[in-house]
Amino acid sequence: MKYIYYIIAIVIVFSGLAAYGLFDTRLEISKPYLSVNDRIVSEKEFEKMMERKPGYMTREQFADSIIDKQLLIQEAIKMDIHKEESFRRSVENFYEQSLIKILLDRKLSSLVVDVTNDEISKYESFLENKLVLTKTMYPSLADAQKKTNETVQKIESDFINLSDDLKFIVLTLEKGASSKPKQRGMEGVVMYRLDDTLKKDVSQADQTKEFDIKRVSLFIQDKKKEQLLDEWTDNIRQSAEIWRKK
């Protein structure tokens, strides 16, 4: 019986040594770089933080900024601010907004669009024109589909003076054509019709400016991506199960 106990004891000892050796090789020990009261920042952690260092700061200045931040955090914890409902709500809101921003940034970067020579030429020709538009507003999409409760407004403006959103809408229209109805905040559902293009006096000052093809191309490209992003979010909404209390 003693022999069995000896065997068990030896197995336990060697198992412990093996486990110690195994875990010891897996642990990555990093020396402390700085400490602020009980908060220790290791060399590895500090080097990771350095990836976010502003370009105008030296290494020492950045270390000082970390110390200041930790002191303020510790002071806030002493005052139990982290337990307050207002703090919880602000953290929740920051988390949600950050999540949405990362999602939209990734989606935008994944979108690939082309800008044609015809689109560039159309933009350039519109710079020489005053546009006549009809803006029609509806309280809801249902009203827009039935063409009820509409409010009509006539717009006559140089193309260059239109908002960026309206510039892009006009670029997608031929004379007499209307844009798709779209919800636009407090205005409700809005549609635009391109009624006419009136040639401006070529002596006007804005015609002497050099046409920046690169800037216009980037403008159209960005607006096309925005349009695709809107269509993507609309598809998500349409495929979702949504309920609201009437």
pLDDT tens-digit profile of 160-170? 999 999 999 99
Tell me the C-alpha distance between 228 and 109, whole Å.
12
Largest CA distance in the chain: 113
Number of residues in the chain: 246
Q: Which H or E run includes 127?
A: none
Q: What is the pLDDT of residue 187?
A: 84
Tens digits of per-residue pLDDT, 68-99?
A: 999 999 999 999 999 999 999 999 999 999 99
Tell me the C-alpha distance between 122 and 168, whole Å.
11
Q: What is the pLDDT of residue 201?
A: 67
pTM: 0.68
Record: fold of 117-201+212-225: Chitinase A; domain 3 (3.10.50)
Give burial (CB, 10 Å; 0-12/13-18/19+) of 190: buried
Phi-psi region of 5 (alpha: psi -120 to 50; beta: other; left: phi over 0): alpha
Domain positions in the chain are: 33-109, 117-201+212-225
What percentage of the chain exceeds 90 in pLDDT?
A: 67
- Per the CB < 8 A criterion, the answer to whether 181 and 194 are in contact is no
